[in-house]
Each structure stands twice: as structure tokens, then as C-alpha cells.
Amino acid sequence: MEDWISEYLGKMESVAKEGICDRCLGRMFGKLSTGMTNDVRGAKIRAALSENGVDIPAPNGCPLCDDVFDMLDLFAESVAEKVNDVETDNFLVGSRVDPEILQKEKEICTKYDLEHFESIKTELNREIGKVALPMIHRPVEFKNPQCVACIDTRFANVDLDLAPIFIKGRYNKLSREIPQTIWPCRVCKGKGCPRCHDTGKMYQTSVQEIIGDIALKMFDGKEHFFHGMGREDIDALCLGEGRPFVLEISQPRRRDADLDELELLANESELAQYHYLQFTNRDEVKATKLATPSKTYRVKVKAEGKVNKERVVEVALSFKNVLLDQRTPRRVEHRRADLVRKREILWVEAEVLGDDTFNLTLETESGTYVKEFVSGDEGRCKPSFSEALGVQCYVETLDVIAINEGMK
């Protein structure tokens, strides 16, 4: 008699008297030995009991598993049919088991204080996967599966959970009339109303939708999500090398779409352009969202009265490594906490265009409110360019010309 059986023979006898099948009996002690299936393990246990004068034959129908393992071929065929309908490099099988079976299993394990059992779900996942593997012709992946086929063993229905696709790149925003991401209607909250012409949106398109809608079709996905390294105001352009972003496509049934084609199709738009597209992973989303690069801006400024050219240049040069106290601007206070944030102006250069207009080019710490730095926002930003110049100024146009985090 093998050691792992002799050590637990008394407990095995008690469990066998529950009238369960070889497979369930073996599973109750599944972690005590290796190199055999649970049905073989259960048969060994039953034979050892018989050798010791305890004859407990296997039942015709198992009261625990309800003979669910007799359906392995059907389950595997259902899984293979679903998985073969999508494009992935690998797969993994999961299962939903009748709650009554799980409850019975739990009661037996608790009743006999079983510490070395394997759950029926684990065994089903493994055994279905073994039968399905030759029909699917792609490897099983446990750590990061692209496709999890979850079969409901009560009905043999299979649901697929497909890992998202992540695409990183950079975008230029060429319109002052579109947001970066989908903006639900403030009135109907996305349901559709007269204000939004039943679209559910404040703006009819966005940087996200221009590329996301195309990608969704190419990858046959369910939804797209847009993760930008910060964002610019709707009325601001984003020029230069562009702003880094990650596009996420959920539940993609295809994974081999051509990113060059995606870029080409997206760039037919006159509102935004996209560059340097490449596949990436979920970690890139976190890195993109947490990045805090400095930004370089170009703003066209209008003053309330004539300005002295030399004085404008002098004031601009004085803002070198200057810390600002910026209270939440009035224009966003309805959606942001009322706080005073410290932000740094790294440098400013000025070019006077006329008696009351000039351009400023400046580099700022991430999160700086540039419009409020120029205007002072009624004293909510100190110091400000208007205060230093002694003339009230406002930003007419704002362009982001660099996200200074280096190309990747």
C-alpha cells in the first residue's frame, strides 16, 4: 500500500462511504500524490480499502458530481467551436459549475476536514482543456491568456473573455472644436435628448473616436477606451511630435490587424493625426496615466491696451523657474476640488505682434493652468503675467507644441 494512502486510510474510508464516484473520491485527496488522474487515484483508494476488508463499490450515479465528467467530450467540442471562431495565440478553459455541486463538495471537505482536496472546477478546467486542445491547435496559457473560454456545465454554453488589445502612439489635435475623449451630454448623461440630437454626446466626435471607431471594426472589438498622457482643452491644438496615448480595444475577435493601415485610415481626418502606432500592454496604460512631463506651449495673448515691447520681453524673461500658487480656476471649479496647487514656470519667451498682441512660448510643470497664469484669474493665480506686466491680458489661442517626456 502506498504511503499516501496508508497515512489517510481511515479518513478515506469515511469519505468513500458518502457514496461518491472514483473521480470525486480521488479529488478529495488530489494533492497527496501526483502523476495520475483523479479517477485513477480514487480507484487506488477503493482497492486499498478492499484489501483492508472494507468493500465500498463505486456507485452507478455519483451524488456529488452528478456524473458531469461524462460530458467532457461535449464540453470540449463546445469550447473548441467558440475558440476557433476568434483569432488568438493561446487559450484557457474556465467553468461555471452547478452551485449545488459546489455546496456538496464544500460540505464533505468541511465534514472530514480535508486539506488536500482539489476543487471540481479545477479538475473540470483541466480535463476539458486536455480534450479540447487537439481541436484548437494553439497552446494553453495560464498566466496571461488571450482567450478564456468559460463553459457553464449545466447547459454547455460557452462565453469568451478576450484579453484587450493595447495600441500606443502619439496624436496631433488639429481642431479647436473637438475634445480628446468621448464627452457624454451634460443634460441626458449619454441617453440621448434634443440638446445632443439624440447622440448622447456634447461633441459629435473626438480624438478618441476618430481612431477608436476604425480600430474597433478592424479588430472586431466591443468597445474602445482612450488613455492620454494628460489632455489639452477643447479649444487648444496639440502640435509638434504630439501627445502620447494608449488605445484599448475590449473583446477583440481579431488580433492581427495592420497598424499601418489603421494609421493611414485614421489620418484621413482633418481634425486629428496619429503617429508611431505599435502594440503594447496594460502596463503602458499605467505608465502613460502616471507620467508628469513638462509641457511647452505657444499662446497668443491679447492685452487690454497698448503694451511696451521691451517690457513684455523683460517680463517674460523674468519667469524663469518661478513657482506659482494656482487656486482651482473658475472655469473648472464645478468639476475640480477647490485647492491651491504649486506649479512651476520653467521659462518664458515673448514675441510682440502688435500694439496689444503678442505670443508667449513657455515651458511649464505638468498640471499648470497656462490660461490662468497669463490672466491671473482674478487673483486666483499668483504671480501671473498680467500682474507682472501691469496690464490685464488674456489668452486668445493656445497650442501645445511639445510633451517633454522623450520619444519611446
- Which residues have a catalytic role annotated? 233
The closest of 95, 26, 94, 17 to 63, measured between CA atoms, is 17
Q: Identify residue 113 by its one-letter amino acid code.
A: D
Separation in Å, CA 400 to CA 41, 295, 341, 349, 408: 68, 7, 21, 15, 19
Instruction: Report helix, strand or coil for 369.
Output: coil
Nearby residues of 353 by Cβ (< 8 Å), 6 or more positions away: 300, 359
Instruction: Report helix, strand or coil for 79.
Output: helix
Contact 88, 147 (CB under 8 A): yes
Instruction: Report helix, strand or coil for 98.
Output: coil
The closest of 175, 196, 177, 174 to 187, measured between CA atoms, is 196
| The residue to which cell 496615448 is assigned | 245
Nearby residues of 331 by Cβ (< 8 Å), 6 or more positions away: 371
The Cα 125–Cα 161 span in angstroms is 15
DSSP-assigned states of every residue in 150-172: EEETTTTEEEEEEPPEEEEEEEE
The closest of 63, 65, 38 to 123, measured between CA atoms, is 38
Rg, C-alpha atoms of the chain: 32
Contact 52, 12 (CB under 8 A): no
Q: Identify residue 381 by its one-letter amino acid code.
A: C
Query: Residue 180 phi/psi, 5° resolution?
Result: -70, -45
Which residue spans within 304-392 are E strands per DSSP?
A: 322-327, 340-352, 357-364, 381-382
The Cα 335–Cα 297 span in angstroms is 24
